[in-house]
């Protein structure tokens, strides 16, 4: 166990010596890596926020069932039970004519015109909120309830659901591609740095082979080298994200107040930071070993 720890400590010191031997080169490399990782992290973070805003901030597409004037209590109860048992419906509410009139009366533009009405001439309606706001679900439910007794008309927000799905899919494709691109460029940069370090150590590599050193022994410093570069880049990216959020948050609050919607940008928690450092270090290890192995093949 002591020998194993000694070998790893020696490998870690060697990895540190790679960086300290060329401080300017590695400072620039870590800054560039941090920028690439920050861009990859930011695209993933903003994709999550865009998805959250689409689902919770923008108006939710609904399906409204308008009842006929002749709908009796039995038909209303039967429809209520059918809606409650339908697994595609997350929740629903019944809006009576009196509730609808009271809600419209609260609007400053409509209140004067509605004062002449003593009651709402329109029938009551069921407003359905779907579990999966997929446009095909709206078509399916609209067809299912179109011939139901007591229902006069169905109003579907299918077009709005299509637009939300298009925005979500487009954002996912663009931001996902950018995140993968930035992560891949970070991987290539670490692999290139490890490749250059391995080329400089060709003489030492030949000597270690003559002394009978194992491949694992020779790879170990490069694994720590990649881990240091990856972890340093991840830590820098984490700080850059917090700095960017501190600058952007007041702007999003002002934009949300302008459009009367909630646009919050909560910072990632410590667990997300730990996962970022872990995956950055693991990616750096794999990239460095790949670069070192490629130099040996050449």
In this structure, are 31 and 73 located in the same domain? no
Strands 151-156 and 125-130: unpaired
Q: Pick from 156, 188, 206: which residue ends a domain? A: 156
Cβ-Cβ contacts under 8 Å for 296 (sequence gap 6 or more): 198, 205
Q: Say yes or no: 228 and 176 in one domain.
A: yes
* Average pLDDT, 10 consecutive residues per value, the chain (298 residues): 75 83 87 88 79 75 87 85 90 80 60 57 83 87 86 88 86 85 90 84 58 65 88 88 82 74 72 84 87 62
Owning domain of residue 253? 2-57+169-297
The pLDDT, as a whole number, for residue 213 is 57
Same domain, 88 and 190: no
Domain shared by 23 and 75, yes or no: no
Q: Which of 132, 156, 180 is the last residue of a domain?
A: 156
Q: Are residues 84 and 231 in the same domain?
A: no
Measured N-to-C along each axis, helices 202-210 and 158-200 cross at an angle, to the nearest 10 degrees, of 70
190-241 per-position pLDDT tens digit: 998 888 888 776 655 555 555 555 566 677 888 888 889 999 998 888 888 8
**Which of 121, 156, 191 delimits the end of a domain?**
156
Q: Is residue 108 part of a domain?
A: yes
Q: What's the domain count of the chain?
A: 2
* CATH number of residue 84's parent domain: 3.30.70.3040
Tell me: do 98 and 147 sit in the same domain. yes
The tally of CA atoms less than 13 A away on the side-chain side of residue 17 is: 9
208 and 280 fall within a common domain: yes
Do 52 and 179 fall into the same domain?
A: yes
**How distant, in Å, are the alpha carbons of 36, 76, 153, 238, 252 from that of 149?**
60, 9, 11, 59, 48
What CA–CA distance (Å, rounded) separates 182 from 296? 27
Pair 53, 174 in one domain: yes
Residues 50 and 184 in one domain: yes
| Same domain for 126 and 200 | no
Q: Write out the two tokens for 235.
A: 């830590």
How much is the pLDDT for 128? 92
């Amino acid at each position: 166990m002591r020998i194993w720890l000694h070998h790893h400590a020696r490998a870690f010191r060697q990895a540190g010596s790679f960086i300290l031997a060329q401080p300017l080169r590695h400072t620039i490399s870590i800054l560039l890596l941090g920028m690439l990782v920050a861009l990859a992290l930011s695209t993933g973070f903003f994709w999550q926020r865009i998805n959250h805003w689409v689902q919770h901030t923008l108006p939710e597409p609904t399906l409204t069932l308008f009842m006929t004037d002749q709908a009796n209590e039995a038909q209303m109860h039967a429809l209520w039970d059918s809606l409650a048992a339908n697994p595609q419906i997350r929740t629903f509410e019944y809006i009576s004519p009196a509730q609808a009139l009271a809600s419209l009366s609260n609007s400053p533009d409509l209140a004067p015109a509605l004062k002449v009405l003593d009651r709402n001439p329109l029938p009551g309606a069921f407003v359905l909120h779907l579990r999966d706001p997929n446009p095909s679900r709206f078509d399916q439910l609209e067809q299912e309830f179109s011939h139901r007794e007591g229902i006069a008309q169905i109003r579907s927000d299918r077009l709005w659901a299509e637009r939300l799905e298009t925005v979500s899919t487009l954002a996912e494709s663009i931001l996902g591609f950018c995140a993968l691109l930035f992560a891949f460029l970070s991987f290539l940069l670490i692999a290139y740095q490890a490749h250059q370090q391995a080329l400089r150590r060709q003489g030492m590599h030949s000597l270690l082979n003559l002394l009978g050193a194992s491949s694992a022994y020779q790879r170990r410093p490069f694994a720590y080298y990649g881990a240091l570069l990856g972890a340093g880049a991840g830590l820098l990216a984490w700080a850059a994200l917090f700095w960017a959020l501190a600058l952007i948050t007041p702007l999003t609050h002002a934009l949300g107040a302008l459009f009367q919607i909630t646009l919050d940008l909560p910072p990632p928690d410590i667990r997300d930071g730990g996962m970022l450092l872990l995956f950055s270090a693991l990616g750096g290890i794999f990239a460095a070993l790949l670069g070192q192995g490629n130099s040996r093949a050449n």
